[in-house]
């Protein structure tokens, strides 16, 4: 994966579940790249690549959470408890992300926080894909996907384009 961009497909090419799944895969790849760079830098000053990757990861996680909260969750016929659980997950992931960014010096604390964030994100992705995605199958996924892609572009600006 290139550290230089966060490629996002055109809104007309993906339905809502594909847009979200694409983000999920991209986020996971970025977390793997962050862990690889952190291991390589252990005990040394953070590289510009790692700092830039963390900034892009933060931007993508925040934009992804925002489009789910604004567009995806409200469209679901899920019960309030399920949506509240997903919202709480997003809130906690963003808190963990801010704690990670505060622990920028390489070392055990950074790596511990990065691993915890990766585990939390993967658990949340699994929850969404197994519990929430099936609830969306009756929606107009193409229209919702186009709206989500447009909103993601607004939130990410230049980071959201090839």
- Structural domains in the chain plus CATH codes: 13-160 (1.20.120.520)
Give the pLDDT confidence score for residue 2 in this predicted structure: 43
Give the pLDDT confidence score for residue 10 in this predicted structure: 45
Name the pLDDT band for 19 (thresholds 50, 70, 90).
Answer: very high
Q: Does position 9 have pLDDT exceeding 70, yes or no?
A: no
Give the pLDDT confidence score for residue 74 in this predicted structure: 87
Residues 39-72 have pLDDT tens digits of 777 666 666 777 788 889 999 999 999 999 899 9
Looking at every residue in the chain, the average pLDDT score rounds to 82
| C-alpha dihedral (147, 152, 1, 125), degrees to nearest 10 | -80
Give the pLDDT confidence score for residue 53 in this predicted structure: 87
DSSP string, 60-126: HHHHHHHHIIIIIHHHS---HHHHHHHHHHHHHHHHHHHHHHHT-S-SHHHHHHHHHHHHHHHHHHH
Name the pLDDT band for 111 (thresholds 50, 70, 90).
Answer: confident
């Amino acid at each position: 994966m290139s550290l230089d961009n966060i490629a996002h497909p055109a809104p007309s090419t993906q339905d809502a579940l594909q847009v979200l799944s694409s983000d999920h895969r991209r986020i996971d790849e970025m977390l793997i790249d962050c862990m690889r760079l952190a291991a390589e830098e252990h005990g040394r000053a953070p590289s510009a690549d790692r700092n830039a990757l963390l900034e892009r990861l933060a931007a993508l996680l925040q934009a992804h959470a925002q489009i789910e909260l604004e567009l995806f969750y409200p469209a679901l016929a899920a019960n309030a408890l399920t949506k509240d659980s997903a919202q709480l997950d997003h809130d906690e992931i963003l808190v963990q992300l801010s704690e990670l960014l505060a622990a920028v010096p390489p070392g055990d604390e950074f790596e511990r926080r990065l691993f915890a964030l990766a585990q939390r994100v993967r658990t949340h992705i699994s929850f969404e894909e197994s519990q929430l995605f099936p609830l969306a199958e009756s929606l107009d996924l193409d229209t919702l996907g186009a709206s989500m892609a447009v909103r993601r572009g607004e939130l990410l600006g230049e980071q959201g384009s090839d």
